[in-house]
Amino acid sequence: RAPPTSIFLRRALSYRNVFLLRSSPLLSRDLRQCNPEPPHRVLSLPGLEFFRESRRGFAKGRNQKKEKEEESASSTVEILPNMGPTIKANATSHMEAAIAALTAELSKLRTGRAAPGMLDHIIVETGGVKLPLHQIAAVSVIDSKTLSIHPFDSTAISSLETAIVESPLGLNPKVDWDRLVGCSYSPVSRHLIAICKVVTKSSEDGKQSIRRARQKAMDTIKKLTKNYSKDDLKRWEKEVDELTKKLVKTAEELCKAKEKEISSG
């Protein structure tokens, strides 16, 4: 009995001989003569061209689709809204509101005639709560030099008196039953100095409000770091800083004008 290796060699040689015979030109000619059926037709030239054009069209369509996706992505980046004007507009609104509040506060300070609004800035502590004077008492004018302060709650009259005496206005009210009267309002030197201190405090309060608006705008800009370039962020910060300086200067000029008015009597 032959070993398995010799069997595999004989089979391989027999397959090789068959392959060589089939590839022989003479045998191929004889086989064609014996087999009348025509050989299988290969793909013609027009068919090959159609196949090639189809593949080219498919590749071209895929490239166009990829280009459209890239253009869509790039257009998404380009249509980001310009947040600079919005941030500046919001900051301007808050800062101008601070200037308006400062102007209203300064308009209440007069040296020639008593006015109810001159006591609005005084803070009164009553019942463990601090409130502006105009929220716990009604102020009216008796004459050009005297004011009447009538508390809504008569138990708060002592707190009112203490707050008015300790205020920088230098007024000395007297208790008259359930109200305070006789707040002398004369343009003496000590009183003018006290009024100027009130102006200074109002100026600082106004500038602090402007700076708070600036800080709020800067915080908003910082939140946009991931979506906008550094150049855009720096430009917006510069615009907010310039706006802040401009309105701080306006507040200072208002207070200087008021101090000059007070000093001139």
Residue ranges and CATH numbers for the domains of the chain are 83-109+188-264 (1.10.132.20), 116-184 (3.30.1360.40)
Query: Does residue 4 register a pLDDT over 70?
Result: no
With cut-offs at 50, 70 and 90, classify the pLDDT of residue 143: confident
Which tens digit of pLDDT belongs to each residue from 76-132? 445 677 888 899 999 999 999 999 999 988 887 766 566 677 787 788 988 888 888
With cut-offs at 50, 70 and 90, classify the pLDDT of residue 170: low
Averaged over 234-239, what is the pLDDT?
93
Q: pTM surpassing 0.75?
A: no
Q: Which two tokens stand for residue 135?
A: 């929220």
Query: Does residue 204 register a pLDDT over 70?
Result: yes
CA dist., res. 228 & res. 139, Å (int)? 54
With cut-offs at 50, 70 and 90, classify the pLDDT of residue 214: very high
Strands 129-132 and 137-143, sheet pairing: unpaired
pLDDT given at position 32 = 52
Strands 129-132 and 146-151, sheet pairing: unpaired
Query: Does residue 39 register a pLDDT over 90?
Result: no
The four Cα atoms 253, 211, 96, 102 give a dihedral, to 10 degrees, of: -50
With cut-offs at 50, 70 and 90, classify the pLDDT of residue 265: low
Q: SS3 for 192-253, per residue? A: HHHHHHHHHHHHHHHHHHHHHHHHHHHHHHHCCCCCCCHHHHHHHHHHHHHHHHHHHHHHHH
Q: Which two tokens stand for residue 45?
A: 């030239």
Which of residues 13 and 228 earns the better pLDDT score?
228
Averaged over 39-44, what is the pLDDT?
48
Helix axes 230-263, 84-107, angle to 10 degrees: 10
pLDDT given at position 110 = 66
With cut-offs at 50, 70 and 90, classify the pLDDT of residue 237: very high
pLDDT given at position 126 = 84
With cut-offs at 50, 70 and 90, classify the pLDDT of residue 213: very high
For residue 126, what is the enclosing H or E element? strand 123-126
With cut-offs at 50, 70 and 90, classify the pLDDT of residue 27: very low
Mean pLDDT computed over every residue of the chain: 75
